[in-house]
């Protein structure tokens, strides 16, 4: 009996022999053979070798497929044939022109289809109700490109992901594929969409869209440690991004991105910083009819979760701020008052951040992920943030309602601040006793006076 090691060698010999036979055929015969293939098979054939890449990018073949596949009614077909397709002969275009046009058109039609299926806007979050389902149906995944100091790039496929109510958590495990922490020059996050070719097993074309770029040089110096366990140390590089370092050597265990759902479909499929979206023009807030208020009618939706479960999901409406409470350039919106125990909310679990990486897993205490969405009085997206956060011990005044440990969750950037106070009653019982959001006056004015 022949050795099993000889089987791959025989297969390679057969493939080489077949390729040599094809190489002997005239190009006219090969073109004729390829003309019987549909777009899906032709695209896969183009990834066989250099010869078939050239042959399967033939403009004549792809023009024929474009007319047959894309122009699905006689009126549209006649219009394109008479106007667009006859503007140049197929051979006058660069090789691959009609192939690229076909793939782009299929992707565009698919995108229009799924944009209609994003569903109605949720009144609490101001977000489309079917964001997760659309991303799944569009076969969107995410890749992380890591560049080291020498300029060498490594692109990592996603290790695992988790959808939450208003956000998405993505994780890439390190292993030996990542440079040491100090040697990372930049990180690039791309959304990758596989085009809907229906034939199973065939290679599918994909489109990469830049979602985020991180210059690691300044971030490495100011990264904040938000937690640790016996194996890893968690560093917050910037809001929404943490890196886990092995405590015994400082090498990278994993990198986690948290992304808010706001325009996530567009950002992951059509490139980063898409500026084509235009929001309705809104009147400035300080022209309110009621002079007693500085802002009113605002809505806040906040979710606390980790990589496994949801800890809290609450919406607060009719938030307001009196003009007298606008101080130091910040507008105060109180969602939960410490003095009103009827507003206090119990978390459904303990604030921890479980992680898993290759053969190891662990849990970092007093950490979780916060996804905050603020809507203005018109129900439009005003501000949002999704980021891992830490829960720090706090000295608090004596309370007759709670006699446990006091903790503070705090987030701050140039536009918005969030402060949440918690009381720990038992090992698994935590209460949110205060939640206040502060919005920059400059940010408010900018939001309401944009020149569209």
The 3-state secondary structure of the chain reads CCCCCHHHHHHHHHHHHHHHHHHHCCHHHHHHHHCCCCHHHHHHHCCCCHHHHHHCCCHHHHHHHHHHHCCCCHHHHHHHHHHHHHHCCHHHCCCCHHHHHHHHHHHHHHHHHHHHCCCCECCCCCCECCHHHHHHHCCEEEEEEEEECCCCEEEEECCEEEECCCEEEEEEECCCCCCCHHHEEEEEEEEEEECCCCCCCCCCCEEEEEEEEEEHHHHHHHCEEEEECCCEEEEEEECCEEEEEECCCCCEEEEEEEEECCCHHHHHHCCCCCCCCCCCCCCCHHHCCCCCEEEEEEEEEEEEECCCCEEEEEEEEEEEEEHHHCECCEEEEEEECCCCHHHCEECCCCCEEEEEECCEEEEEECEEEEEEEEECCCCCEEEEEEEEEEEEECCCCCCCCCCCEEEEEEEECCCEEEEEEEEEEECCEEEEEEEEEEEEHHHHHHHHCCCC
Phi, psi of 275 (to 5 degrees): -100, 15
Backbone angles phi, psi at 10, to 5 degrees: -65, -40
State the average pLDDT over residues 162-170: 97
Q: Could you tell me which residue, 396 or 18, shows the higher pLDDT?
A: 396
Which residue in this structure is represented by tokens 């802002």?
Answer: 295
Cα 314 from chain centroid (whole Å): 23
pLDDT attached to residue 197: 54
pLDDT winner (highest mean) among 113-122, 235-244, 393-402: 235-244
When computed from its CA atoms, the radius of gyration of the chain, rounded to whole angstroms, is: 28
Check if the beta carbon of residue 156 is closer than 8 Å to that of residue 172: yes
Domains and CATH numbers, the chain: 23-116 (1.20.1280.50), 128-268 (no CATH), 298-448 (no CATH)
> Of residues 230 and 294, which shows the higher confidence score?
230
CA distance 129 to 123: 10
What token pair was written down for 38? 């549909």
Write the pLDDT tens digit of every residue in 48-102.
778 878 888 888 888 888 887 777 654 555 555 554 554 555 556 777 788 888 8
- What does the pLDDT average to over 259-266? 93
State the pLDDT at residue 148: 92
Residue reference for tokens 């400082």: 250
pLDDT at 428 over 80: no
């Amino acid at each position: 009996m022949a050795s099993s090691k000889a089987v791959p060698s025989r297969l390679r010999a057969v493939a080489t022999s077949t390729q040599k036979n094809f190489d002997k055929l005239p190009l006219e015969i090969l073109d004729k053979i390829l003309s019987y293939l549909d777009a899906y098979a032709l695209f896969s054939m183009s990834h066989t070798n250099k010869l078939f890449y050239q042959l399967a990018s033939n403009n004549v073949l792809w023009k024929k497929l474009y007319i047959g596949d894309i122009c699905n009614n006689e009126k549209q077909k006649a219009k394109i044939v008479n106007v667009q397709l006859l503007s140049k002969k197929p051979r006058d275009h660069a090789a691959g022109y009609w192939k690229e046009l076909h793939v782009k058109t299929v992707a565009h039609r698919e995108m229009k289809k799924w944009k209609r299926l994003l569903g109605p806007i949720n009144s609490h979050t101001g977000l489309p109700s079917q964001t997760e389902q659309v991303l799944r149906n569009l076969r969107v995944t995410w890749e992380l490109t890591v560049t080291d100091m020498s300029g060498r790039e490594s692109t990592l496929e996603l290790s695992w992901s988790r959808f939450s109510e208003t956000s998405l958590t993505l994780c890439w495990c390190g292993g030996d594929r990542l440079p040491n922490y100090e040697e990372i020059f930049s990180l690039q996050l791309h959304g990758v969409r596989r085009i809907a070719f229906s034939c199973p097993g065939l290679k599918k074309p994909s489109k990469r869209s830049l979602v985020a770029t991180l210059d690691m040089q300044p971030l490495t110096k100011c990264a904040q440690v938000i937690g640790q366990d016996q194996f890893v140390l968690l560093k917050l590089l910037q809001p929404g991004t943490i890196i886990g370092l092995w405590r015994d050597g400082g090498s990278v265990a994993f990198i986690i991105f948290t992304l808010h759902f706001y325009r996530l479909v567009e950002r992951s499929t059509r490139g980063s910083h898409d500026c084509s979206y235009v929001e309705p023009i809104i009147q400035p807030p300080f022209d309110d009819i009621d002079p007693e208020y500085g802002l009113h009618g605002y809505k806040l939706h906040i979710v606390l979760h980790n990589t496994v479960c949801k800890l809290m999901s609450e919406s607060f409406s009719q938030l307001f701020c009196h003009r007298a409470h606008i101080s130091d350039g910040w507008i105060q919106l109180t969602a939960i008052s410490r003095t009103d125990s009827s507003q206090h909310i119990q978390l459904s679990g303990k604030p921890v951040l479980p992680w898993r990486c290759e053969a190891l897993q662990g849990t970092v205490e007093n950490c979780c992920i916060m996804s905050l969405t603020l809507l203005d009085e018109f129900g439009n997206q005003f501000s949002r943030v999704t980021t891992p956060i830490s829960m720090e011990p706090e000295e608090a005044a004596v309370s007759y309602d709670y006699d446990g440990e006091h903790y503070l969750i705090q987030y701050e950037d140039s536009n918005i601040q969030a402060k949440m106070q918690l009381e720990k009653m038992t090992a698994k019982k935590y209460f949110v006793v205060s939640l206040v959001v502060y919005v920059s006056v400059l940010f408010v004015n900018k939001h309401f006076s944009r020149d569209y």
